[in-house]
Amino acid sequence: MQKLIVTMTFTAAFAFAQTATADKIEIDDLKAKQGELAAKLPAAAKKTVSYKKDIKPLFDKSCLNCHGPKKRPKGKFRIDTRELALKGGSEGVSIVPGKSDKSALINYIAYQVVDFEMPPEGKKDYPKLTKDQVGLVRAWIDQGAKFDN
């Protein structure tokens, strides 16, 4: 009986671990699966977004230390100027102005891509964005990913 319980516990834990990651995809599959992923993204905020008021504070807190001018930027990606942000990083362009559903950065901040959860999982100094905040970043990209408003 004890053995059965142990086996059942392991099976349940394994099944749970699988469902916990089941929704995430591998980076190599992103291009092919971006359409499916779009359906699961938080909706874009329905307001005119200000970079300075709505977006910069989020990036400053959750991204800038790893993707700014201070040290060698992670993934060769910088988020502190429009030019650098649009240029992309090792994985190519991740912001497509006007198309948040085609912007890999949104898949990353929505924790949809394995090993590209941004900010990375377990980094308590860098808060994960809430659904509403992901929605704000989506609206920001949809409205042109401006840095001057």
Cα–Cα distance, 92 to 112 (Å, whole number): 17
CB of 14 to ligand HEC, least distance (A): 25
Kindly state the smallest distance separating residue 116's Cβ from ligand HEC, in Å.
6
**Residue 20 or 92 with smaller CB distance to ligand HEC:** 92
Nearer to ligand HEC, 118 or 145 (CB): 118
d(CA 121, CA 72): 20
Closest CA to 103 of 54, 52, 144: 144
Q: How far is the CB of 36 from ligand HEC (least distance, A)?
A: 20
Query: In this complex, which beta carbon is closest to ligand HEC, that of residue 49 or of residue 109?
Result: 109
Residue ranges binding ligand HEC (CB under 6 A): 62-63, 65-67, 74-75, 77, 79, 88-91, 94, 105, 108-109, 115-116, 118-120, 123, 126, 129
Q: Is the peptide bond before 97 cis (omega within 30 degrees of 0)?
A: no
Residue 9 vs 127, nearer CB to ligand HEC: 127
CB of 94 to ligand HEC, least distance (A): 4
Contacts 24+ apart (CB under 8 A), 21-24: 21/114, 23/112, 24/111, 24/112, 24/113, 24/114
Spatial separation of the C-alpha atoms in residues 1 and 19, rounded to whole Å: 27
